[in-house]
């Protein structure tokens, strides 16, 4: 590409700030230019939360603000407080990174396009998107879609794994339990909620709950619709989640299972592999969609395989958003 990809970050929460950090600090995110940021929270609050982060630590460069701008290191970008993107002029923006979590209806999802941007990439499930696309699962279906959902962090962890192993060994059925860190949707103290388990204090208990991953995975891998079940447990950790998968294989890998997995999961962008006895915090800041803990692998004579994989549900997901944004913008460059 002859010029940087111009992205606009709408929503400066956990994912929006992770995207901002990666573009400024990661070599893998080279080639992006931040055209602006929009959030309804005050500029000084957003700057503070960028400067000091409870998960990833202080921002490694000075963070400053001024009237209508946010600066980090040697870049300064416009900062807006627009409740509706249609009020802004986004002409020349290649991709709006829609990170508000509110793009559930078509009017909200297409607001960035109506403001002049070429594409919109939504950081979560959205029925309003033209298409839901997950790298490693159904990227060939991106086509000419202009409003795309990047699905969920858990879908990005599960779908590429199932797709790769189905191709290598054949999967007759699979059950996946996601062990997910708590999120902002859970209370810090017990309080009434529609879901009784989710109404309990997030940092105190393990909480059985629902997940959209089942529907999302079968949307991008429809062949698994009658072969997959998914359950979820929220746990009292602040970052990094895991998938615990039990797969019934058509052909069990011969010899060393770790060697067979290394060969099957060869895409280093999507998959990491570790032989170390890691715990969740060791995987913080990893950009892969899933990092397989090879010592946890078990295979029975009957072809049943158990796997444990880690994923940084913020950092890894943000890395996939940038990969997807690069693909979307690349169609016009």
Host H or E run for residue 173:
strand 171-181
Spell out the residues 6+ positions from residue 232 whose beta carbon is closer than 8 angstroms to its own. Answer: 154, 177, 178, 180, 208, 209, 210, 211, 213
Q: Is the pTM of this model over 0.85?
A: yes
Could you say which of 46, 99, 153, 181 is catalytic?
A: 153
| Backbone dihedral angles phi then psi of residue 240, each to the nearest 5 degrees | 70, 125
CATH superfamily of the 5-123 domain? NAD(P)-binding Rossmann-like Domain (3.40.50.720)
User: For residues 154 and 220, what is the distance between their CA atoms, to the nearest angstrom?
Assistant: 13
For residue 333, the model assigns a pLDDT of: 83
Please report the sign of the dihedral spanned by the C-alpha atoms of residue 53, residue 62, residue 325, residue 104.
positive
For residue 1, the model assigns a pLDDT of: 53
Evaluate whether 180 touches 232 at the Cβ level (below 8 Å): yes
Evaluate whether 81 touches 40 at the Cβ level (below 8 Å): yes
| Backbone dihedral angles phi then psi of residue 148, each to the nearest 5 degrees | -120, 140
Tally the C-alpha atoms within 13 A of residue 151's C-alpha that lie toward its C-beta: 32
pLDDT mean values, one per 10 residues, the chain (333 residues): 91 98 93 98 98 98 98 96 97 98 96 98 97 98 98 98 97 98 96 94 96 95 97 97 98 89 96 97 98 95 95 98 97 88
Query: CA separation (Å) from 290 to 160, 163, 330?
Result: 9, 13, 25
Is 181 among the catalytic positions? no
For residue 156, the model assigns a pLDDT of: 98
Q: Write down the H helix ranges in 104-182.
A: 106-109, 111-114, 153-169
Query: CA separation (Å) from 140 to 43, 64, 154, 203, 227?
Result: 39, 41, 20, 40, 22
At the second CATH level, the architecture of 153-313 is 2-Layer Sandwich (3.30)
Task: Name the DSSP letter for residue 57.
Answer: -
* Domain range summary for the chain, segments of one domain joined by +: 5-123, 153-313
SS3 at position 86? helix
């Amino acid at each position: 590409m002859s010029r940087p990809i111009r992205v606009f970050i709408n929503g400066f929460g956990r994912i929006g700030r992770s995207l901002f950090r990666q573009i400024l600090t990661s070599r893998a995110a080279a080639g992006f230019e931040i055209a602006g940021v929009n959030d309804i929270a005050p500029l000084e609050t957003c700057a503070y939360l960028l400067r000091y982060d409870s998960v990833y630590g202080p921002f490694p460069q000075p963070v400053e603000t001024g009237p209508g701008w946010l600066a980090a290191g040697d870049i300064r970008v416009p900062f807006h407080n627009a409740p509706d993107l249609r009020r802004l002029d986004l002409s020349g923006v290649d991709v709006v990174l829609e990170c508000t979590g509110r793009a559930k209806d078509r009017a909200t999802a297409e607001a960035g396009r109506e403001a002049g941007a070429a594409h919109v990439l939504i950081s979560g499930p959205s029925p309003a998107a033209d298409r839901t696309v997950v790298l490693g699962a159904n990227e060939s279906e991106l086509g000419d879609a202009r409003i795309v959902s990047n699905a969920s962090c858990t879908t990005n962890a599960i779908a590429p794994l199932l797709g790769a192993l189905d191709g290598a060994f054949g999967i007759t059925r699979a059950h996946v339990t996601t062990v997910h860190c708590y999120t902002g949707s859970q209370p810090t103290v017990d309080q009434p909620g529609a879901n009784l388990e989710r109404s309990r204090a997030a940092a105190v208990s393990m909480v059985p709950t629902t997940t959209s991953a089942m529907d999302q995975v079968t949307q991008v891998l429809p062949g698994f619709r009658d072969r997959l079940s998914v359950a979820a447990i929220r746990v009292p950790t602040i970052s990094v989640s895991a998938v615990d998968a039990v797969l019934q294989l058509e052909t069990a890998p011969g010899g060393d299972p770790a060697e067979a997995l290394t060969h099957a999961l060869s895409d280093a962008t999507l998959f990491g592999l570790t032989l170390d006895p890691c715990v969740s915090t060791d995987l913080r800041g990893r950009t892969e969609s899933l990092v397989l803990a090879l010592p946890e692998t078990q295979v029975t004579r009957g072809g049943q395989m158990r796997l444990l994989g880690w994923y940084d549900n913020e950092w890894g997901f943000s890395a996939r958003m940038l990969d997807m944004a690069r693909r979307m913008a690349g169609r016009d460059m």
